[in-house]
Amino acid sequence: MKIGFVGLGIMGKPMVKNLLKAGHEVLAYDIVKENVDDVVKAGAKGTGSSKAVAEGCKFIITMLPNGPEVKEVVLGPGGVLEGASKGTVVVDMSSIAPEVAQDICKACAAKGVKMLDAPVSGGEPKAIDGTLSIMVGGEKAVFDEVYDIMMAMGASCVLCGDIGAGNTTKLANQVIVALNIAAVSEAFMLSTKAGVDPVKVFEAIRGGLAGSTVMNAKVPMITEGNINPGFKIDLHIKDLNNALDTGHSVGAPLPLTAAVMEIMQNLRHEGYGQNDHSAIARYYEKLTGTEIRT
């Protein structure tokens, strides 16, 4: 199947490569030429604009940093809608505000273009492995039409509701991940300050009720002092901003999310914005003058 793909960043590039491995033909575009060159070497075909991608494909995936970028790529000059035909399907796999996804969908529908919002969870490692969790909002008939395409990049793909539901689900995911990392950092600082080896604590509790995928992924990074980005603090700040804005609009209190947001904002100020969100532990290390290390 021929698939268009716009947005070849830390997530988009491995996602394209998994589509190629599944036997799909991919027409790709990104504003950074080196990113296009990378996927072309893997077998994709490059093009010069989002409009050109849409002119050449019925199915188009976008994977971009935030809502403004998705609006620009889909609705802006030289964008997807300028090249799309009636019946084109846009699958936005970016993590954006639900309201923005709904606005873009309305603009697409006016031209006869169908849309799903389908953000993902799992970060770069699962994008590389093709085991992302995909959360989808939109019409079931459209979901069924592109399900096999999405499963070439993911281990699970769940229709969560109407358009915007995918991103609402992703915001819930990001709240849980952020709070989990903060809780892990706080707890392992407690053990470290009390003189108990954090690795031994991890081994003892990982199989119990406190265990989680987040703990399994992030505690080894924290204890090794590894803050190389799998998912950057700057991107998590973006997601928590969208969560807080959405919470305000629907009347959902998010006091713990707001507290972790302040931790992340401090870390950004300290120069950790491009580092992994496991650097939340650095906030606690700064407060105590103690490192959580093996």
Q: Do 59 and 158 share a domain, yes or no? A: yes
Q: Do 276 and 177 share a domain, yes or no? A: yes
Q: Do 63 and 126 share a domain, yes or no? A: yes
Specify the pLDDT at position 223. Answer: 97
pLDDT in tens, 42-71: 999 999 999 999 999 999 999 999 999 999
Give the total number of structural domains in the chain. Answer: 2
Q: Do 48 and 147 share a domain, yes or no? A: yes
The CATH number of whichever domain residue 100 belongs to comes to 3.40.50.720
Q: Do 158 and 218 share a domain, yes or no? A: no
Specify the pLDDT at position 125. Answer: 87
Choosing from 162, 193, 218, the residue where a domain stops is 162
pLDDT in tens, 109-123: 999 999 999 999 988
Backbone φ/ψ region at 48: left (φ over 0), alpha (ψ -120 to 50), beta: alpha
The residues facing 156 across adjacent strands are 133
Q: Which domain holds residue 70?
A: 2-162
Tell me which amino acid residue 174 is.
Answer: Q
Does 111 qualify as catalytic in the annotation? Answer: no
Residue 139 pLDDT greater than 90, yes or no: yes
Specify the pLDDT at position 294. Answer: 78
pLDDT in tens, 199-254: 999 999 999 999 999 999 999 999 999 999 888 999 999 999 999 999 999 999 99
Residue 182 pLDDT greater than 90, yes or no: yes
Q: Do 50 and 183 share a domain, yes or no? A: no
The residues facing 91 across adjacent strands are 61, 116
Specify the pLDDT at position 230. Answer: 82
Q: Do 158 and 175 share a domain, yes or no? A: no
Catalytic residue chosen out of the listed positions 170, 218, 232, 238: 170
